[in-house]
Structure 1
Amino acid sequence: MTSSAPPQHVLDNPFVLDLFSGPGGLDVAAHALDIPSLGIEWDKSACLTRYAAGLDTLHADVSAFRRNSFESLPPEINILAGGPPCQTYSVAGHGAGREALEKVKKFIDRLIAGESDEEIDKGLSRLSDPRTALVLEPLRYAVRATRSPNRDHRPYDVIVLEQVPTVAPVWTRYAEALRDKGLPDGTRYEVAVGVLATETYGVPQTRSRAVLIARRVGLGTPPLPSPTHRAYERKVWNQRATSTGDQVRQPTLDDTGASKARQRGEEAAEHLPSWRSMADALRRPVGTHLGRSASFLVRSNYGSAGNPGRRGVRTDQQPAATVTGRISRFVVFEHLDENIVHEGARFTMNEAGMLQSFPPDYPWSGKAQAQQVGNAVPPAFGMHLLSAALGLPAPDVEVLRKPWQAATEEQRAKLRTHGCGDADHCTDKCPRAEDQVPPPSSRPRRTAPAKR
C-alpha cells in the first residue's frame, strides 16, 4: 500500500545492480536520481544502446554470471533490482502458465530453505522452458550475496523488482518468503507488493506493472510509491475505429469525448493532475529538434482480432497504449485541414522512447530497437520505484525531458572494453542469443480453442 508519511532516507551510499537491464530504463532513473548503477544484459543490441548512453554494463547472461563471476561485482552494491523476462507467464491464465507459476513457487521455497545451487540447477534443468527459471534469478542473487566473501557475506539492503501483472503471484511468494522466513542466513525483509498503473506516475502510456519493494529489517517498512497523476479513464477515452462491411471508418480528431473524460477525471481526483498525454510527451523539448507539434491520432494493433477496423484508436490528448516491440507498427494520422486526416509518419524510435519517458535524444543503437524500447522499464516509473524504496521525496520526472549526455567515443570504448572485453567487438565471454532462448520448436504452445 502507499503511504502518506514523510519519506525517511534509507541508505547513505546507494548503488544499484540491475539484472536483465535492457537498454537502460532503470539505470536512466538511477542516473536522474544521482545514484550509481551497474547493469547486466545479455542482448547485444541493448548493450550497444547502453554503451552509447554511457551506462556501466556487463554483457553477460545473468544466470551464468551468477555462477561464474559473482565475486567480481563491486562489493559496495547494496540495491538489487531487475525485471526478469516473462515469456512463460504470458499465458498465466491457461494451463502452461499456471503450471510454470506453481513450479517457480516451489523453487522459491527450496532456495529460502538453503538448498544448494547444484540441486536447484538440477531441478530447473528438467523444466520444459528454461526461461521459466529466470524469474528466480533475483532471489538467487540475494542468496548468493550472503555467501560472498567479497561482500563479507553482507545481504542486499534493498530489493526492487517489476514485471507484467501475471508475475504478481511470484512477487507475492517472494514477499512471504523474505518476510516470514528470510534468506538462508536469517536475513529478513519488510516487503510491499502491488500492481501499479504507470500513467499515475507521469508515464505517458497505460501500462500495468507488478512490483516488489523490500528493505532489510531495521531499515523501515517500504511503501509503494504514491500516485502523482490521475488514472486513465479507459471507458470514457477508449475510442475505436468501426467498420461497415469492408469499409473502415477513418477516425476524426474531433471524435474524442474529451470534455466528458476531463470532467469525470476532475471529479475523481481533484488534487492530482491529469495523466500525461502523448501530445505533452512529444512536444518538442528545449534544446532538441525532436517531437511533434501537430495534433494526431494513433491506431494501435491491440485487440484487433485480425480486423483493422477494430484496432484501438487514441488521440494525442490521451496516453499511449502500452508501448511494446510493436510500437513501430502503430499508424499515426495527422490533419491535412479542418476536416481531413491522412496517414503520417510513424513514430521514430526517439518518439517511441519519449512515450516510455526516456530522454528525447536517447541514443538507441543496434538492431531491434522497437523491441528494446518496448521491453524497457519506463524511467519515470523507475524513478518513483527507487525513490519509494530509498525513502526519497517524490521525484521530479521532468528532468527526463532534458537532452541526454551521450558517451563520447572514448567513453563508449572504455565501457565496452569493460562490458564485452574489447572496445569495438564482442568476445568469447559474451553470451550468444541462441544459448539464452530455446528454439521455437521447444517452446510450449497454447492450444487454440475449438470452433463452435
Structure 2
Amino acid sequence: MSKYELVNLFAGAGGLDLAARDLGVPAVGIEWDAHICATRRAAGLATKEGDVRAFNPNDFPSANVLAGGPPCQTFTVAGTGVGRRALSDVLHFMQRMTLREDVREPLAQLEDPRTGLVLEPLRWALAALDSGTPYEAVVLEQVPTVLPVWRAMGDVLSVEGYSVASGVLRAEEFGVPQTRRRAVLIARRYGTAALPKTTHQPYPKNASAAPSDPTLPPCVTMGEALDRPQPFHMVSNYGCGADPKARGRRTSAEPAFTVTGKIRRSKVTTEDGTELERLTCAEAGQLQGFPADYPWAGQGKTQQIGDATPPILATHILTAALV
C-alpha cells in the first residue's frame, strides 16, 4: 500500500495511525490536545499539533487518503445530546457546503461548537476535489448516532464521483476485546466501496444462543486480552443504556463493556465479590486493542484511551478502503 499517504483529522492517541503503519501507509495526524500529542510522539507517530480548522488539504500535498474521527461528546448517548438536537442544522449546513459556501463561522455559533466539527472532513474532501487533487479514499468513524450525518455525507460524495458504503460496525466482531459500536463511512474514488467483513462472532446477549456464523471464532474475551489471574468479574463504570442504576457485570470469559474515559472506575472482583486491583492504563489500552507497552503520556490518559480508535478495528477498515 506504499502508493497511499494518509492525513488523519482529529487523530487522537493513534489507533488509526498504528493501523496505517502496520499496513505500510505513511500517515500524519492532526491533534490539538498537547497531552495526546505527547502520547503520539512517544509512540513515534507523525503529528501536527493544532486545530483541524486551521489547516487545509494543500498543507499536506502528498496525502491522498483522508481519515477522521471528529469529537463525539455532543453526539454520544452518554453525553449532553447537543449534537443530536442540532442534527437538522448540521444537515442544513452540509447542503450549503455542497454549494461551496464557507460555513465555518456559523458552525462555530452552534450551541456547542464541537458539533460542527463533524463536517470538517467534508470541507477537506470538497476542497481537495475543487483543487483538482481529490482524495482517493475517505475513511470516517464516530459513535452510531452520527450515522445519519455519514449517510448524508455519502450522498454528497457519491455525486462527486465516489463509491460510498456506510454502516455501524461492532468492534468485537473484528477481534477487539470489548463491545463497541462505531458508525463508519468508506468512500473510494476508484473501485467499489464496501464495509469490512467480520472476523469474529458477535457478543451474544443470550449466552445460550447459537452462533450466527459457526465458521468464525468467538469474540475475544477480557481474560484472553489481559494478563490477570482468572476468573474475574468487571462491574461497569456506567449503567446499561446510560442508566447509572443499571450497572452491568461481565466475567473474564466475555469481552469488556465499551471502554470510556471513566474505565478505571469499573470495579474488578473475584467470583465471590472480593474487590481486586482496578484496571491499569496499560490494561485499559489493551481492551482497546493497543499493545501492552503503548507509551501513554501526559494527563488524562484514560480519556485518551477511551476516545481512541481501536487499532485492530482500524486495520480492517483501512484495508477495506484501500485494497
- List alignment gaps of at least 5 residues for structure 1: 1-10, 183-187, 237-259, 283-290, 392-452
Other-structure match for 1:100? 86
- Cα distance between partner residues in 2 of 1:334 and 1:99: 42
Tell me if the contact between 1:89 and 1:101 (Cα under 8 Å) persists in the aligned partners.
no
Query: What is residue 239 of structure 2 aligned with on the other side?
Result: 303
Amino acid of the residue matched to residue 87 of structure 1?
Answer: Q
Q: Which runs of 5 or more structure 2 residues have no equivalent in the other structure? A: none
Establish whether residue 21 from structure 1 lines up as the match of residue 11 from structure 2. yes
Instruction: Write out per-residue CA displacement over residues 56-110 of structure 1, whole angstroms, 9 at most, x where no aligned residue.
Output: 00111111223xxx5332x221110011012222369998544411111111111
**2:181 equivalent to 1:195:** no
Q: Residue 91 of structure 1 contacts residue 97 of structure 1 at CA under 8 Å; is this kept in 2?
A: no
Aligned equivalents of 1:95, 1:271: Cα separation in 2: 39
Q: Which amino acid aligns with 2:154?
A: A
> Partner amino acid for 1:380?
I
Alignment partners' CA distance in 1, 2:249 and 2:13: 28
| Structure 1 residue 229 corresponds to structure 2 residue 200 | yes
Contact 1:92–1:166 (CA under 8 A) maintained in structure 2? no
Structure 1 residue identity aligned to 2:236: S
Residue 92 to residue 314, structure 1, CA distance change in 2 (3 Å): closer
| Closer, same or farther: CA 269–299 of 1 in aligned 2, 3 Å | same
Query: Which has the larger Rg?
Result: 1
> How many Å separate the matches in 2 of 1:125 and 1:328?
33
Q: Equivalences for 1:396-407 in 2 at 5 Å?
A: none
Q: Secondary structure at the match of 1:146?
A: helix
Counterparts of 1:361 and 1:64 in 2: how far apart (Å)? Answer: 33
1:209-288 alignment, distance < 5 Å: 209-216=182-189, 219-236=190-207, 260=208, 264-265=210-211, 268-282=212-226
Pairing partner for 2:317 from 365, 369, 385 = 385
The aligned amino acid for 1:292 is R
Q: What do the CA deviations read for 1:3-61 (whole angstroms, capped 9, x no partner)?
A: xxxxxxxx651111111010101001111112111000011111000010000001111
The ranges of structure 1 where at least 4 consecutive aligned residues each deviate by more than 6 angstroms after the TM superposition are: 92-95
Relative distance call for 1:124 and 1:31 in structure 2 (3 A) is: same
Tell me which residue corresponds to 1:371.
303
RMSD (Å) for aligned C-alpha atoms = 2.0
2:30 is the counterpart of 1:57: no
Give the match's secondary structure for 1:209.
strand
Partners of 1:190 and 1:222 within 8 A in 2 = yes
1:281 and 1:32 map into 2 onto residues whose CA distance is 20
Tell whether the 8 Å contact from 2:28 to 2:47 is kept in structure 1 after alignment: yes
Shift of 1:201: 0.5
The equivalent residue for 2:262 is 326
Q: Aligned in 2, Cα 1:103/1:362: closer, same or farther, shift over 3 Å?
A: same
Structure 1: which amino acid aligns with 2:7? L
Length-normalised TM-score, structure 1: 0.68
Partner of 1:292: 228
Deviating more after overlay: 341-350 vs 272-281? 341-350
1:94–1:125 distance in 2 versus 1, CA, 3 Å: closer
Q: How far apart are the structure 1 equivalents of 2:303 and 2:108? A: 28
TM-score by length of 2: 0.94
**What percent identity do the matched residue pairs reach?**
50
Matched pairs, number: 321
Aligned partner (choices 15, 20, 23) of residue 30 of structure 1 = 20
